Amino acid sequence: MTLVKSSSGIRGTLGGKAGEGFSPIDIIKFSAGYVSWMKRKYKRKKKYVIIFGRDGRVTSVLFQEFLIITFRSLGVDVINIGLSTTPTVGIAVMNEKADGGVMLTASHNPKNWNGLKMFNSCGEFLSEEDFQKLFYITEKENFRFSSYKKLGNLFHRKDYIQKHIEKILSLPIIDRNIIQKARLKIVIDGINSSGGIAVPILLKHLGVHVIEMHCDPHGDFVHNPEPIKKNLKEICNKVPEIKANLGISVDPDVDRVVFICENGDFFGEEYTLVSIADYVLENKLGPVVSTFSSSHALKDLAIKKGVPYHSTSVGEVHVIKKMKEVHAVIGGEGNGGIVYPELRYGRDALVGIALFLTQIAKLYNISLSKLKKKYSNFFMSKKKIQLSSHEKIKMLLKRIKKKYKGKKMNLSDGIKIDLLNNEWIHIRESNTENIIRIHTESFSKTRADFLAKEIVFEVKKL
């Protein structure tokens, strides 16, 4: 059993003892801890309001009852927006001027996982500092529940995905008319979760001919839900088969998006951010931000455009913190996560799709395979390895430091090693699983794989 607590929230596998997985007891404990954190953060209020949403997982339908009962038992009003997306919860927090929000989801993790993503009153994820306070409160506090006269109220809002889409379509940078004129035919893989509802609604508003795959949000994922190449063979075959312009795949809570080329090639999760940044910078120059594990192609684009490029530790909260510091016009992660601050400081697949389709349409319906050739052509290797203990992870990092002694290193998030010719290696603990992630990038796939194998070899020595 696994329970992971990090700045990405709380998530774990189902089953087993409390405290060792994502159990009903842990759900109640962490949601009560969140309410205590919120009341300390936003003091002297007579009434507190939380937005609640869930993804399409089977267990999300079940576990939402625990959360709503816990919040109401602590005297908090709950606005339940039901089946939704993570960015939609953030939008709802802003619109309703709520004190916070909770999304019941394990994001890209498999269906035997679930978790909680928590928001502050600005509709953004909690900062790392606030998460640490929440975890401390959860472990130390004896929670005080409300009397029957002071129980929280429950309200339902069923239209928030529509409100979210309307907010996106109102952005000046999104050109709805030009997308409609392009008469695009697009396949969407909704992984049988929230994206199966939200993405088709957005595409139909944009005048797109939509072909739906796995868009029934019953939560029985037909493939591994992480939107990466090896998990998307079906849609990669479907797009050229029906002569669609492109394909779109999202993760279960719709904060990551990837695209499939017209010929069935994978556009690449790294190039989601690169291409969208290119379009945003055509409209407004300014700094861009991504993570140490994201492709050098974004840095190359920033140099070409003459704007500052900044990189951060992996994780949405780190990206957003840096974006605010430098007043970035676009940012995100190389996993398909787009942060467009004109809408909200948070990853959002729906705004990413709208930006990308506007770009495609304005380039006179250019094919994705041609668009990708505009950008620096790097190759990445992404591996993940289970290690049995934190001690072994520390031993590995120590070995790597010794092996690459004399090379330029950044130690703020595991180890990032910069080599010659824009090659790099990044080794770090995952924020979302009990694993080590090894990302490498080079000018060829063979070379990127070789660099990764060098690290895997060190792991096998442990």
In angstroms, the Cα distances linking 270 to 225, 374, 400 are 17, 14, 25
- HSE on the CB side for 55, CA within 13 Å? 34
Strand order in the sheet with 288-291: 309-312, 288-291, 330-333, 337-339
Strand order in the sheet with 209-213: 209-213, 185-189, 246-250, 257-260
Cβ–Cβ under 8 Å, residues 280 and 319: no
- Residues 91 and 253: their CA atoms lie apart, in Å, by 14
Cβ–Cβ under 8 Å, residues 415 and 409: yes
Catalytic position from the list 36, 107, 193, 249: 107
In angstroms, the Cα distances linking 189 to 106, 159, 260, 270 are 18, 22, 11, 19
- Residues 425 and 452: their CA atoms lie apart, in Å, by 8
Structure tokens at 194: 């929230």
b/e code 345-364 from CB counts within 10 Å (16+ = b): bbbbbbbbbbbbbbbbbeee
For residue 192, the one-letter residue type is N
Structure tokens at 297: 């192609």
In angstroms, the Cα distances linking 358 to 59, 254, 371, 374 are 36, 19, 13, 17
Residue 121 bears catalytic tag: no
Instruction: Supply the residues annotated as catalytic.
Output: 107
